[in-house]
Chain A
Amino acid sequence: DAGVIQSPRHEVTEMGQEVTLRCKPISGHDYLFWYRQTMMRGLELLIYFNNNVPIDDSGMPEDRFSAKMPNASFSTLKIQPSEPRDSAVYFCASSLQGKGAAFFGQGTRLTVV
């Protein structure tokens, strides 16, 4: 298996622009997580899905953030409009049945200038 695949690996955008981050989970996994990593706040859970249904989005910082999972093999995290404080590394992870380990993608490093 190729593991969790995220794209793009790097994204540089101007403040106010829309940014879309993409994730392909490991085939057969039924949980998908979006995390954000910053030096100041460490790893923060933004939102997670079970069987494509959003379960908890309380970690999404503002209405500017939204996430979708239209099918079992694809998820997006969108920021509109983006702001410099959104600059971080965004990770997608997936797991099987919620009790096992979560496996992480390589992350997307977002820089908003």
Chain B
Amino acid sequence: AQSVAQPEDQVNVAEGNPLTVKCTYSVSGNPYLFWYVQYPNRGLQFLLKYITGDNLVKGSYGFEAEFNKSQTSFHLKKPSALVSDSALYFCAVREGSTPLVFGKGTRLSVIA
């Protein structure tokens, strides 16, 4: 069965600095990988996905993620963090047509 690990419950970064939110996955076949963001009292918003092709995926709001098959990782990155990026971030994986399996989430706090 597929699974996702987000090793950090909380990430703190200063505004303007680069940010990284870590994610590793486990699947038996080819993974489809996703990042979502959740603001308080809101649903999950889709940020980006990796299905196939280029290992560097660009998404909404300046976020990008790098698929690394050898390390089974899919870390979320942004070159310059904004205070408005503060939110809960979820990594998710699916295999074939199975439903998304989510990590436990990482709370990002961007400090002005």
Contact = CB atoms under 8 A, between A and B. Distances in A.
* A and B from one complex: yes
Contact of B44 (A31, A50, A91, A97): A91
B97 A98 contact: yes
B22 interface: no
Contacts of A105: 43
A97 to B, nearest CB: 8
Given A98-B97, A99-B51, A101-B49, A42 B102 contact: yes
A15 interface: no
Contacts of B97: 31, 50, 97-99
Nearest to A48: B99
Interface in A13-40: 31, 33
Given A99-B96, A99-B97, A101-B49, A43 B90 contact: yes
Interface residues of A, number: 23
Contacts of A43: 90, 102, 105
Contact of A104 (B43, B94, B105): B43
Contacts of B46: 101-103
A45 B102 CA distance: 9
A101 B96 CA distance: 12
B9 to A, nearest CB: 11
B10 to A, nearest CB: 14
A98 B41 CA distance: 27
A76 B78 CA distance: 38
Contacts of B49: 100-101
A100 B32 CA distance: 8
Given A48-B99, A99-B94, A101-B46, A42 B34 contact: no
Q: Which 9 A-B pairs have the closest CB atoms?
A: A98-B97, A104-B43, A43-B102, A104-B44, A101-B46, A42-B104, A106-B43, A48-B99, A45-B99
Given A31-B97, A48-B99, A105-B43, 12 more contacts: A43-B102, A43-B105, A50-B97, A91-B43, A93-B44, A99-B94, A99-B96, A101-B34, A102-B99, A104-B44, A104-B45, A106-B42
